[in-house]
Structure 1
């Protein structure tokens, strides 16, 4: 699992297409329950709107933990799915997109709706602030005292952090590393120590 990006702050955006108003809300969420709470919130806030369409994606957009969408009465596949597609393409993990539509009297047709809902979320996504999430791994190292300085040096090179250190017959270090750096870190440890460092994944 490599690092991925998530939405870090809410965004509001408005788009007008052939007299129809599309109000877009991007909201950081961490599970379905939270997402549905926000959907309900916007439904109640905009009771008079023609449609309240939504899509959410939890976790890494490349390998989502869960995702869902709703067209809320728009023709099938013209709202929720295009919205989800934008969240995936823009790598907006842990995000909910809600688009509130006020109908302006001019029908957009299926193609026009797909374009409008995509554009509404896409334009909001351009304003979004993202946070990078790096999955980490905890390792326990047992090494000769003479190797401690070298371990600390390698740890710094691989964006790791020292969680705890205890001194017994050997030095015991608990270290936290980004998963994508861990293999190279372990390899360099063993190269430096002639394979004498004991490594355990916690």
Structure 2
């Protein structure tokens, strides 16, 4: 049974200092790799002189994430991305990206010191960020006439669903992202209007 799970309510930044090195941790909600790239590009614009911008993310429900990734960005292997991801997983949070910007302070921290510093920076920002509940979502592809498009859009507005992509051909084909617990209502709506639909497995 899919369950609701906590996600970050929004963007937050926290800074910590370890032996004169500055660690600026940023957390943001993400639902795709494209969003991860966008946040990373923004961090590089904001901190062009930073020695490292390390990160990790987890998309989907904690414990069964659809996708996860991490990057040490030049730090010794396993000393940055992995501890960031470990803290994310420990916090039981999904759809989350943590970036840690490091300005080197002139004192080497060693592998163990780096692991602790990146984990601590991640802990600081994840402990401070507000959480909201994300309901599991499903993707439904509907095939309909032009006349059905507006009623479908109206249904989505009323049921916390969204039209993700629409292709106009002889018929209108739309991808709808809908809360998992509303899929049955959508299928009943489609059946009543003679709209074809298929659920993403």
**TM-score of the superposed pair, with normalisation by structure 2:** 0.67
- For 2:66, the equivalent position in structure 1 comes to 65
Matching residue of 2:156: none
For each residue in 1:45-82, what CA deviation from the matched residue of structure 2 results, as whole angstroms up to 9, or x when unmatched? 21111101011111112111111010000000000011
Distance 2:99 2:28 in 1: 8
Distance in 2 separating the partners of 1:61 and 1:113: 25
Contact 2:7 2:134 in 1 (8 A): yes
1:140-199 deviations in Å (ceiling 9; x for gaps): xxxxxxxxxxxxxxxxxxxxxxx8xxxxxxxxxxxx9859xxxxxxxxxxxxxxxxxxxx
C-alpha separation in 1, matches of 2:137 and 2:74:
42
Provide the rounded CA distance (Å) in 2 between the counterparts of 1:55 and 1:104: 23
Whole-Å Cα distance in 1 between the matches of residues 33 and 50 of structure 2?
23
1:96 is aligned to 97
Q: Which has the larger radius of gyration?
A: 1
2:10 corresponding residue in structure 1? 9
Question: Could you state the TM-score of these two structures normalised by the residue count of structure 1?
Answer: 0.66
Q: How far 1:44 sits from its partner (Å)? A: 2.0
1:91 Cα shift? Answer: 1.8
Indicate whether 1:50 and 2:56 are aligned.
no
Q: Which residue of structure 2 aligns with residue 115 of structure 1?
A: 116
Stretches (4+) displaced over 4 A: 176-179
Unaligned runs of 5+ in 2: 139-158, 160-178, 183-198
Query: Once the 2 structures are TM-superposed, how far is the Cα of residue 133 of structure 1 from its aligned partner?
Result: 2.3
Q: How many correspondences in the alignment?
A: 144
Q: Match for residue 130 of structure 2? A: 129
